[in-house]
Structure 1
Amino acid sequence: MTENAAGSGRSIAQRLDALPFTRKHGRVLTGSGIGWALDAMDVGLISFILAALTQQWGITKGEGGLIASIGFAGMAVGASLGGLLADRIGRRQVFALTLLVYGVATGASALAGGIVALLVLRFFVGLGLGAELPVASTYVSEFAPARMRGRLIVILEAFWAVGWTAAAVIGYFVVPVSDDGWRWAFAIGAVPAMYALAVRWGLPESPRWLLGKGRAAEAERIVASFEQQAAVRDHAASLGPKDAEPAPALAPLAKGGRIAALWATEFRSRTISIWVVWFCVNFAYYGAFIWIPSILVDAGFSLVRSFGFTLIITLAQLPGYAVAAWLIERWGRRLTLSVFLMGSAVSAVVFGTVHAEAAIIASGMALSFFNLGAWGALYAVTPELYPTSLRATGAGWAAGIGRIASIIAPLLVPVLLLAGGAGLTFVVFAVFFLIAATATWGLVDRGGKALDDR
């Protein structure tokens, strides 16, 4: 990068941080959030579809775990490759491509005639889905003003609750209606394929990424359009005291490629910590929420009743996100994340040991509240750990490591249930939540500070 380009980069970064929240920010947030919600709807649907296929196809819990895990295998590959691609060819391009891939594969899943076809299609669904999530959070974080960046990322993550609630509604009203209900559920999940085109042409590219590629004129036009809408004329006067302070000068990035740079001395400890957090949170979250409908059926509740319980439990995700969004700019990223993870651990133990309907619903709602609040904080802190040239790669690889856990968890749950029932299973989840809460303190908290735009 030339000296002028670097100087332009500093100016544009400060101008982005100085902006108020505009309609253009809202479009970036909503456009990314709808894709996020559609992702959640797809992931959520599989938990209801597994319960239905157990009755209709007579699949075993081991086969059900394989169907769930193969999707997460695709997500692990997608997250790792998606981050690398987003740092190379742009955030918006990869975002649209991933929506298209998993939307088409989800629609095709409605036509699956057996387990083998469903397994192949679920892998491709995961491939697109895994790449989209870390890219979307990176994309929004690079537009968000520093003083509200954490809150906006938690709001982005809150779209997950909207999508998961939509999955619960579809699971409750569509899946049990007929033997083809699960096929209609997959067909509804194909909506992202159509939405991908709107994303591709309707959202701007990240100015920070454009600057890193030497495309300063394009970056300038995008930032100027935001400023024009916000009527910002005097950039220096509009900067608050914290926003005006430039990011500290840091050492050059490590040689040897983006993945090697994640393990440079500067980033090694935060990379280890964030990988541990992602691994543990994925293990506990997907192990629990993919199997909750089936666990309730095994406890003696009807398919429709277990789906109804799951819908109620899912609704608690929204206040969890709301509280996390409020706390993350007051308590900071690390404290908010660790508190919500500890709340998840306590809720998991209670959920696994109670039997009364009211207690199941209450503890399930608490688990949903704390766990999804933790997810919001996790997605907020992850992109902030790395500079712009590594941001999508770092977020993608952290998510990819987490997806390894989401592959293992659905396969391990049947073994845990057989060995010690729901009690043992959810105690194991609680242990993983506590490990994640501890690892949180190895992260860097950049709340309210400028992003590193190297």
Structure 2
Amino acid sequence: MPATSTGPLGSTGPTVPATGLDRHLTRTERLDRLPFTSKHRRLLAGSGVGWALDAMDVGLISFVLTALARQWQLSPTEVSWIASIGSLGMAVGATLGGLLADRIGRRQVFALTLLVYGLATGASALAGSVAVLMALRFVVGLGLGSELPVASTLISEYSPAHIRGRVVVGLESFWAIGWILAALIGYFVIPGSADGWRWAMALGVVPALYALVVRATLPESVRFLESKGRYAEAESAVRSFEEPAGVPAPDHAPDAAIDAPVAPTGPVPGLWSSRYRLRTASLWAVWFCVNFSYYGAFIWLPSLLFAQGFDMVKSFEYTLWITLAQLPGYAVSAWLIEAWGRRATLTTFLIGSACAAGAFGMASSVPAILAAGCALSFFNLGAWGALYAVTPEIYPTVMRGTGSGASAGFGRIASILAPLAVPPLKAAGGTGLVFTTFAVAFAIAAFSALGLPELRGKELEEL
């Protein structure tokens, strides 16, 4: 009997032969034709926990800054630099992480980055000055920036072609879980005492412990293993995904190279070669604008609410409610990305983000603030899900990690500039000017997304 599977992502997989009749397929083609099985679910959950811990760290600093500004009597400029220095580390880390992922492996970099930023976050709890905190936040950023594009690349390379975008959006949805955890910690822990922010940062050491789990349980990318000639390991990894679907083993030696794609004979094309120039420019523009608006809005959100006259606890409460709207945003994006396609979904959510940002800037009452904030969360995080699904798909295996990391690294430049831009924008025109600027950035991102290729249902490019 043919084996099929309906996974939690709402897609019934293609029929998988119960005999070895398709042994001429490459290993990556064998992965692409599989249904969504328990093995995929474990990979998604294992990577997703790391992703959620990343989000928790990014979210925590937005709440910590509100408490620190009051306790340490920080100026808006000092607050901006503490927020931005982590993004500077993320810009460097994203680029280096992508390069390392193409050289030493996706799983190795994933585990290493969790260890780095987990230890640095825990150490931040002991910081006694702005300078020390900024130094540690830079190291945290190195780890965070390296981890995110690597995790999405690993998930993309293992996902069946017919639901690949949906699975990557599923990974990105763990970001909302991490932000919700950060909001809960911010609401219940930080206001509890003068050292509440230190206890919150101490919880950030959890990713360092989870790095051991990642290193021991997650598989290495089959495409990476084949590119390094490690065919026995690649075959073992593929079999671990085929067995739950009832696919028999091929009849050749497990270390054979016959199931690997043909190695490229010429030089590896560059990100700015004629073949990839348009998609690289479009992708970098989207990453830049989305980072600018997201980090400018959400890192400052609790502080902006506090500055509007709400007390710290109430500001944190409103931020928690706004954060909860991220989950349905991911859910809708995950469905649309296979129903509509990558480009249409990304563009739609970016236009929605622009409208929501404009509405938030004009909101004056509590209901209007919450409604516009929830809409911004819904559309912005849905756009993030689509963007992470698109990014690893548009480059071949030999440069997938590098391409993903470079686009994320360029985007992080915007996440450095955005927190620094908020105080002067607010001084010049209030919250309205701040969010109008973010709305314009989202609109530019929506236009730029039109230059990206539509790759729904297509196999990942090998060469």
* Superposed CA RMSD: 1.8
Residues 312 and 365, structure 1, Cα contact 8 Å, conserved in 2: yes
- Pick from 130, 151, 172: which aligns with 1:136? 151
Stretches of structure 1 that go unaligned for 5 or more consecutive residues are: 1-7, 236-248
Measured in 1, the distance between the counterparts of 2:262 and 2:370 equals: 49
| Cα distance, 1:347 vs structure 2 | 0.4
The answer to whether residue 114 in structure 2 is matched with residue 105 in structure 1 is no
The answer to whether residue 380 in structure 2 is matched with residue 371 in structure 1 is yes
Measured in 1, the distance between the counterparts of 2:352 and 2:306 equals: 26
Residues 157 and 379, structure 1, Cα contact 8 Å, conserved in 2: yes
Stretches of structure 2 that go unaligned for 5 or more consecutive residues are: 1-22, 251-260
Look up the equivalent residue of 2:58 and give its one-letter code.
V
| Cα distance, 1:234 vs structure 2 | 8.8
The answer to whether residue 33 in structure 2 is matched with residue 24 in structure 1 is no
Measured in 2, the distance between the counterparts of 1:175 and 1:9 equals: 58
Matches within 5 A, 1:233-252: 233=248
| Residue 87 (structure 1) aligns with | 102
Matches within 5 A, 1:18-417: 18-233=33-248, 255=267, 261-417=270-426
Q: How many residues align?
A: 433
Deviation per residue, 1:47-71 (Å, 9 max, x gap): 0001001110010111000001000
Measured in 1, the distance between the counterparts of 2:401 and 2:85 equals: 24
| Cα distance, 1:254 vs structure 2 | 7.0
Look up the equivalent residue of 1:132 and give its one-letter code.
E
Measured in 2, the distance between the counterparts of 1:93 and 1:113 equals: 33
Measured in 2, the distance between the counterparts of 1:199 and 1:172 equals: 30
| Residue 431 (structure 2) aligns with | 422
Deviation per residue, 1:168-205 (Å, 9 max, x gap): 00000001111100000000111000000010011111
Runs of 4+ aligned residues of structure 1 deviating over 4 Å after TM superposition are: 249-254
The answer to whether residue 451 in structure 2 is matched with residue 436 in structure 1 is no
Measured in 2, the distance between the counterparts of 1:139 and 1:10 equals: 21
- Are residues 150 and 9 of structure 1, via their aligned partners in 2, closer, same or farther at CA, if it must alter by over 3 Å? farther
TM-score, scaled to structure 1: 0.93
- Are residues 404 and 361 of structure 1, via their aligned partners in 2, closer, same or farther at CA, if it must alter by over 3 Å? same
| Cα distance, 1:251 vs structure 2 | 12
| Cα distance, 1:233 vs structure 2 | 3.3
Residues 239 and 249, structure 2, Cα contact 8 Å, conserved in 1: no
| Cα distance, 1:263 vs structure 2 | 1.1
Measured in 2, the distance between the counterparts of 1:80 and 1:389 equals: 15
Residues 9 and 211, structure 1, Cα contact 8 Å, conserved in 2: no
Look up the equivalent residue of 1:100 and give its one-letter code.
L
Measured in 1, the distance between the counterparts of 2:206 and 2:456 equals: 35
- Are residues 134 and 142 of structure 1, via their aligned partners in 2, closer, same or farther at CA, if it must alter by over 3 Å? same
Residues 341 and 374, structure 1, Cα contact 8 Å, conserved in 2: yes
Instruction: State the SS of the aligned residue for 1:103.
Output: helix
Q: Percent identity?
A: 65
Deviation per residue, 1:392-439 (Å, 9 max, x gap): 100000000000000000001001000000000000000000000000
